[in-house]
Amino acid sequence: MKRISFFIIAIFSLALTQAQNTTDGLRYSTEQNIGTARFTALSGAMGALGGDFSAISINPAGGAVFLNSSLMFSASLFDVENKANYFDNSEKSFSDDVALNQLGGIFVVNNSNEESAFKKFTIGLNYTINKNFDNELYIAGTGTNSIGDFFLAQAQGIPLNLLQLQPNESISDLYQYLGEYEGNVAQNAFLGYQAFLFDPIDPNNPSNTAYTSNISGGNFNQEYAYLSQGYNSKFSINLATQITNDFFFGININTHTVEFDQSSFLLESNGNPGSTVNRVGFENNLSVTGAGISAQIGGIAKVADNLRFGLSLDTPTWFQLSEETTQSLKSRRVFEGQTFNEFLDPRIINVYEDYTLRTPGKISASAAYIFGLNGLISFDYSYKDYSQIEFIPINGPNFNDLNNTLENTLKAVSTYSVGAEFRRNQLSLRGGFHYEESPYQDSTIIGDLMGFSFGAGYNFGRFTCDLAYSRSEQERNQPLYSVGLTNAANINSIYSNFVASLGFNF
């Protein structure tokens, strides 16, 4: 078998097997209650209100509600608290991130022709972070399945000669060859074999495809650490108009940017009788970059002096994404009374072929009742079908199986938001509640998201200052790996978001 050797550190294209899954599709399809402080305090229930930069992001007609040309920027402190229960052991982890999460400006042009039905035109630009990916998770406990089961499952069916080094061939050479021509499953199997986690049933047969583990069954002390960072942001160009005194219409043209980095490390040890291998460390790193495009159209109608209704439609978002991965594996084994430490670090960057991800569109309906200058109450409802997430190959692998899995495991989701505001002269006090259904048909995988918010603002005339706090909570059951080591940790996540906004009117 002829193989081509490259440098120890190399970059290449993985053309056969990609690692995308349901989690990846949801990661770029979901959003958080994050935006301006007023929007955050009202739990995002602003589709029928407008006059706010984040309100524009859910209903572009809101741009025409602005009375004056304005600028606003918002900064946030995003906090995640995770509590992980794994085989009766509980661990807590925390992460924090400070970011400029919103920056926007809008220019209002009033029509001086009193006979024209078009009373106003607005042009706006707004940048916002739809989702903050910063997160830390620590899981620890004594499990019943081993990481060796993961590698053993990856190896079954792969010929032995693909896992063995040829003369003058390095770990990096063969790892790269397998990635380029056989895929990531073969790379995992190769690492496990070279770390002596399993042995072939017939070691003298190069075509052997069956393997047995060198890790005996029993109890396994496991520690799993996960770290992610990055964001999914949106930049919008907003065009809106007011027709007569009662109707507002607008459109958004949006570009999206994705930056996501993820690292995970599993450390496992055991003292099971008959185990040749008693310690394993497995590290995986993922880096994703991408860009996307979408559009929105919406309207707001004043149906009575104090009552408004809003309706908006979001198109699907088309992302072009690029992924890179790296791996390493450590093991400690005892052979003929001696202890050996193996460290497999190919120092190869797996560069996958770019692919397109289409996230689902959304329809939103909203209503608001205005109590004159004293305050308001608002309600928003949105509908989004996550089973319509679709991975689209570009000269690459076929995603039919994955798309079928998405269609059969995800579902349409309803989201409800309620907000209220009380005004006393220049002071405003706000509060809200939000609820989002689980995107999974089986809600034990990921549960419903529920939370509340509150805040305050003060209008100084030429400028405004607003503060808000939002809290959401959600539970999920997370398997450590998709095959082999499928024991799941129950994770309760609390998302807290502190936002401060400063606005200027001209």
Share of the chain above pLDDT 70, in %: 95
* Half-sphere exposure of residue 56: CA atoms within 13 angstroms, side-chain side: 34
Token pair belonging to 137: 């998770």
In the predicted structure, residue 421 carries a pLDDT above the cut 50: yes
Average pLDDT for the chain: 94
- Max CA distance (Å), the chain: 97
Gap between the Cα atoms of 267 and 281, Å rounded:
4
CA torsion sign for 29, 32, 37, 43 is positive
CA torsion sign for 191, 196, 197, 198 is positive
**Are 356 and 392 within 8 A, CB to CB?**
yes
pLDDT at position 460: 95
pLDDT at position 398: 67
Coil, helix or strand for 401?
helix
Residues 6+ apart with CB under 8 A from 435: 415, 416, 417, 448, 449, 450, 451
**DSSP string of 48-106, one letter each residue:** TT--SHHHHHH-GGGGGG-SS-EEEEEEEEEEEEEEEEETTEEEEEEEEEEEEEEEEEE
pLDDT at position 34: 87
pLDDT at position 19: 63
pLDDT at position 397: 61
In the predicted structure, residue 415 carries a pLDDT above the cut 90: yes
* AA identity, residue 327: Q
Say how many C-beta atoms besides its own lie within 10 A of residue 169's C-beta: 13
Gap between the Cα atoms of 199 and 38, Å rounded:
61
Gap between the Cα atoms of 322 and 28, Å rounded:
13
The domain locations on the chain are 11-505
Token pair belonging to 81: 């608290």
Phi, psi of 477 (to 5 degrees): -110, 115
In the predicted structure, residue 290 carries a pLDDT above the cut 60: yes
pLDDT at position 16: 40
Gap between the Cα atoms of 359 and 35, Å rounded:
21
Q: In the beta sheet, which residues pair with residue 385?
A: 412
pLDDT at position 14: 47
* Half-sphere exposure of residue 96: CA atoms within 13 angstroms, side-chain side: 4
In the predicted structure, residue 13 carries a pLDDT above the cut 70: no
Among 481, 45, 493, 65, which residue's Cα sits nearest to residue 266? 481
pLDDT at position 505: 94
Share of the chain above pLDDT 90, in %: 90
Mean pLDDT of 363-371: 97
Residues 6+ apart with CB under 8 A from 343: 328, 329, 330
Distance of CA 380 to the CA centre of its chain: 23
Torsion angle, alpha carbons of 400, 405, 408, 409, to 10? -150
**DSSP string of 118-162, one letter each residue:** EEEEEEEEEEEEEEE--EEEEEEEEESS-HHHHHHHHHTTS-GGG
**Are 490 and 446 within 8 A, CB to CB?**
no
- Please identify, in words, the CATH class of the domain defined by 11-505: mainly beta
Phi, psi of 190 (to 5 degrees): -60, -45
In the predicted structure, residue 209 carries a pLDDT above the cut 80: yes
pLDDT at position 15: 43
Q: Phi/psi zone of residue 196: left (φ > 0), alpha (ψ -120 to 50 degrees), beta?
A: left
